[in-house]
């Protein structure tokens, strides 16, 4: 424990060293070539190297969600003629600290609704495609200060796009149902505030990104884990389609939601533990106690809510009915998603947690469905002897089956879906090709190898990034031989109902396969579980 605490202290010190306060510039002394005029102020960035400018800590709301705005919808910006530094990332949302998410170790505050922009220093005259990143962290932890998601390296290599990263409220501050409480009628949006924060950030991007050289008519939203869930849900929010045209969902889908009944039950658990009956009672509880209580009770159960107002009651049906068919979708997962959690919990710890979670899941099923799960687990014992069969079942429930259901529904509705499967393995024991293993590759930070444990092949990594960019630019991630870093064309076929094509990201052989060739999803014994979501 002492070594772990020492590592945490070192990581915390590293993150705090990145922090600084942005101030209003009143003396007129600033570099005009690094200043961009927006609706809510002129923001002055800094060069992060000779080829990249970053604008950090730009507020995308008119008032931060503190005081009487806690648990309230984000407030839109107002015009401002002031000039402001945009040198430092804004504070992270309030959360419990975690070594697995270094962004959580950055200085925190409830006043957290800021975004960051990275662009090339070139003087291109054509507007560039924009990629808006929404970070993960199970809707509980994380932040835009995460080192592996810093975008200088990405933009230096791919100067033909602009990247934006956005912050949003999480945990008890961003996804906590309150309207059922005696004084809860004044908090009708508390269950989905994180989603509304993301929407407000996208509105800011739409209205201001042209001033940075970006094309507001060519925006791709992309995210991983809770961020992947977010970008799969945002197109279901009314009015959202004017803000983006494309979606890249990495290891996340609408399965990361809960019903109103489930959300209320989660709230009641926390309220009972805190001895609170009303929102007024809750407002009197200190933040650390709130976070620790909620985190201890609701681990991996903090999801967006299918409330029938902000989000539909059945997101999968919305996809099947064509709600997203006008947008291009690219999505995928890693081969051993749950390996990340096995490593994090330790093998014994994960097995104990998973057994308890599985009991709850099985209580929802019919006897016939329970038998199917039992058959899956019996077969899985021989596939991964160092993992429990429950691990493989949760791979299916939480990541793989929802991925394919989304591709099926989007395709049946007449929309486009490009689907991938990432397979390179970590050198970290038990991690394998676990959750989040692709992030340091996507953002070109191989040195941030907490998950990978090693460097992946450089050409493979560059090719993957180029396909992400190509999708953002054109809506098709395929590369010609001239565009591909290895000089070989990469044809990525659309998912189709008959062949179910998937792009396999093997480290030394990126190629397309029919899903049946690799048998990624268990269509008979696991696919049906998506109707129960993953709470």
The answer to the question of residue 530 being in a domain is yes
The answer to the question of residue 437 being in a domain is yes
Same domain, residue pair 374 and 308: no
What is the DSSP secondary structure assignment for residue 91, as one 8-state letter? P
d(CA 113, CA 91) in angstroms, rounded, equals 8
| Residue 55, SS3 per DSSP | strand
Same domain, residue pair 264 and 378: no
Same domain, residue pair 153 and 270: yes
* Predicted pLDDT of residue 381: 67
Choose one of 247, 280, 313: the last residue of a domain.
Answer: 313
The answer to the question of residue 330 being in a domain is no
d(CA 336, CA 398) in angstroms, rounded, equals 12
C-alpha pair distances (Å), 331 with each of 79, 245, 250, 410 = 37, 15, 6, 11
DSSP 194-248: HHHHHHHHHHHHHHHGGGGTEEEEEEEEEEETHHHHHHHHGGGSTTGGGT-SEEE
| Residue 6, SS3 per DSSP | helix
485: domain CATH number is 3.40.50.1820
Q: Are 328 and 470 in contact (CB under 8 A)?
A: no
The answer to the question of residue 321 being in a domain is no
The answer to the question of residue 324 being in a domain is no
Same domain, residue pair 373 and 228: no
Regions of the chain short of the pLDDT cut 70: 1-6, 381-385
Choose one of 313, 346, 377: the last residue of a domain.
Answer: 313
State both tokens at 11.
């990581």
The answer to the question of residue 95 being in a domain is yes
| Residue 53, SS3 per DSSP | strand
Same domain, residue pair 206 and 343: no
Phi, psi of 484 (to 5 degrees): -80, 130
Same domain, residue pair 303 and 340: no
DSSP 127-168: PEEEEEEE--STTTS--TT-GGG--HHHHHH-TTSEEEEE--
Same domain, residue pair 65 and 187: yes
The answer to the question of residue 325 being in a domain is no
Same domain, residue pair 303 and 339: no
Range of the domain at 440: 335-535
Residue among 139, 408, 340 nearest 258 (CA): 139
Domain count, the chain: 2
Active site members = 225
Q: Are 84 and 41 in contact (CB under 8 A)?
A: yes
Adjacency order of strands within the sheet including 83-85: 35-38, 41-44, 83-85
The answer to the question of residue 328 being in a domain is no
- In this structure, the dihedral spanned by the alpha carbons of residues 32, 33, 38 and 42, taken in order and rounded to 10 degrees, is -30
Same domain, residue pair 306 and 360: no
Same domain, residue pair 309 and 339: no
Residues with Cβ within 8 Å of 261's Cβ and at least 6 positions away in sequence, in order, are none
Please write the tens of the pLDDT for every residue from 27-46: 999 999 999 999 999 999 99
Same domain, residue pair 414 and 473: yes
Same domain, residue pair 289 and 398: no
């Amino acid at each position: 424990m002492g070594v772990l605490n020492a590592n945490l202290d070192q990581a915390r010190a590293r993150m705090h060293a990145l922090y600084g306060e942005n101030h209003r510039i009143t003396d007129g002394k600033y570099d005009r070539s690094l200043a961009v005029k927006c609706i809510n102020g002129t923001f002055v960035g800094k060069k992060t190297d000779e080829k990249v400018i970053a604008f950090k800590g730009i507020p995308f709301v008119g008032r931060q969600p503190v005081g009487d705005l806690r648990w309230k919808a984000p407030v839109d910006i107002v015009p401002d003629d002031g000039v402001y530094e945009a040198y430092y990332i804004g504070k992270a949302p309030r959360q419990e600290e975690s070594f697995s998410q270094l962004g959580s170790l950055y200085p925190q505050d409830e006043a957290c609704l800021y975004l960051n922009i990275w662009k090339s220093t070139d003087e291109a005259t054509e507007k560039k495609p924009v990629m808006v990143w929404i970070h993960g962290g199970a809707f509980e932890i994380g932040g835009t200060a995460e080192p592996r998601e810093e975008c200088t390296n990405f933009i230096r290599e791919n100067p033909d796009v602009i990247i934006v990263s956005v912050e949003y409220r999480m945990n008890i501050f961003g996804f906590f149902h309150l309207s059922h409480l005696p004084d809860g009628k004044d908090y009708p949006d508390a269950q989905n505030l994180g989603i509304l924060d993301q929407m407000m950030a996208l509105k800011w991007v739409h209205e201001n990104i042209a001033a940075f050289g970006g094309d507001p008519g060519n925006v791709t939203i992309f995210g991983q884990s809770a961020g992947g869930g977010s970008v799969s849900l945002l197109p279901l929010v009314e009015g959202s389609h004017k803000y983006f045209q494309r979606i890249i969902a990495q290891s996340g889908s609408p399965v990361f939601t809960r019903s109103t009944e489930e959300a209320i039950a989660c709230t009641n658990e926390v309220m009972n533990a805190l001895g609170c009956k009303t929102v007024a009672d809750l407002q009197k509880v200190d933040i650390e106690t709130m976070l620790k209580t909620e985190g201890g009770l609701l681990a991996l159960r903090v999801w967006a809510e299918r409330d029938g107002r902000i989000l539909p009651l059945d997101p999968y049906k919305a996809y099947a009915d064509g709600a997203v068919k006008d947008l291009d979708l690219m999505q995928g997962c890693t081969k051993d998603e749950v390996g990340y959690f096995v490593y994090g919990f330790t093998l014994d710890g994960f097995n104990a947690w998973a057994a308890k979670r599985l009991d709850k899941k099985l209580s929802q099923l019919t006897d016939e469905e329970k038998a199917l799960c039992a058959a899956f687990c019996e077969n899985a014992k021989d596939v991964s002897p160092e993992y429990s069969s429950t691990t493989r079942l949760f791979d299916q429930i939480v990541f793989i089956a929802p991925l394919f259901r989304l591709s099926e529904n989007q395709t049946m509705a007449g929309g486009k879906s490009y689907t991938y499967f990432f397979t390179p393995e970590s050198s970290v024991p038990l991690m394998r090709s676990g959750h989040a293993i692709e992030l340091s590759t996507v953002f070109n930070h191989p040195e941030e190898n907490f998950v990978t444990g090693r460097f992946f092949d450089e050409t493979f990594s560059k090719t993957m990034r180029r396909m992400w960019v190509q999708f953002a630019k054109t809506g098709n991630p395929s590369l010609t031989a001239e565009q591909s870093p290895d000089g070989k064309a990469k044809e990525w076929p659309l998912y189709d109902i008959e062949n179910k094509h998937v792009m396999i990201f093997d480290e030394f052989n990126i190629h397309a396969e029919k899903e049946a060739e690799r048998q990624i999803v268990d269509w008979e014994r696991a696919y049906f579980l998506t109707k129960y979501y993953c709470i």
